[in-house]
Amino acid sequence: MQVTSVETRTIQVVHAGCVPYTEAWEWQRQLAKARSSGQIEDTLLLLEHPPTITLGRAADQSNLLATPAALAQQGIAVVETNRGGDVTYHAPGQIVGYPILKLSRHGANLLRYLRKLEEVIIQVLADYGLAAGRVEGLTGVWLNAQRPHRADWPAALPTENDLDVKIAAIGVHLSASGVTTHGFALNVRTDLHGFSQIVPCGIRDRGVTSLEQVLDTTPALPAVTSRLLDHFADVFAVEVVTIDRDT
């Protein structure tokens, strides 16, 4: 009897530490070009950024509440990008993930891809007993500020109306050759003060939170990252292979 082998899809993961935003963006462009031409496999960059405000393609300048000069005095960079979405903030203590994927290998549907990124983070938060969910029309992952814990809810998940604070932002770009860049930012132990300088994602009636803010203890970034990789592997049906940055 002939046995048909099933190809195991892999994703190369690079733990890059703290990388300036513009350097990471150029790195993504180089990797996306290499992925498009088949020189590399699907790759996931995991890193942090120094304090940086980024504006996506749909950004409204009025959602930036301070001038770039005033922000620079505080050590906060401002960068206009080609990702989707409005304005967000990055800082150390935030797990930022940039999947450089050939979308055709993962369903060839950008909206489904966004939902998968959300699902990865929802499952990570469930590991910490948090009842995270989605809000229709607002990409990202959300909690309830007053009742974030799953055990506090009569049902497994809160309703959209209950979800009033964002814990993870998501914004992506798809190249003409079908390769994804940009990705997600999960607030773990982030100093949230920088979010007061913007209207996060252009949403005025909802706030921002972090794992540190809603848990009794502050989780270590490596522990959260490990859970994130486990769930990324499950949701995207891939095998995670960690490689050195220079490779």
Q: For the chain, give the secondary structure using H, E and C.
A: CCCCCCCCCEEEEEEEEECCHHHHHHHHHHHHHHHHCCCCCCEEEEEECCCEEEECCCCCHHHECCCHHHHHHCCCEEEECCCCCCEEEECCCEEEEEEECEHHHHCCCHHHHHHHHHHHHHHHHHHCCECCEEECCEEEEEECCCCCEHHHCCCCCCCHHHCCEEEEEEEEEECCCCEEEEEEEEECCCCHHHHHHECHHHCCCCEECCHHHHCCCCCCHHHHHHHHHHHHHHHHCCEEEECCCCC
- Catalytic residue, chosen from 124, 135, 186, 201, is 201
18: annotated active-site residue? no
Report, as residue numbers or ranges, the catalytic residues.
201
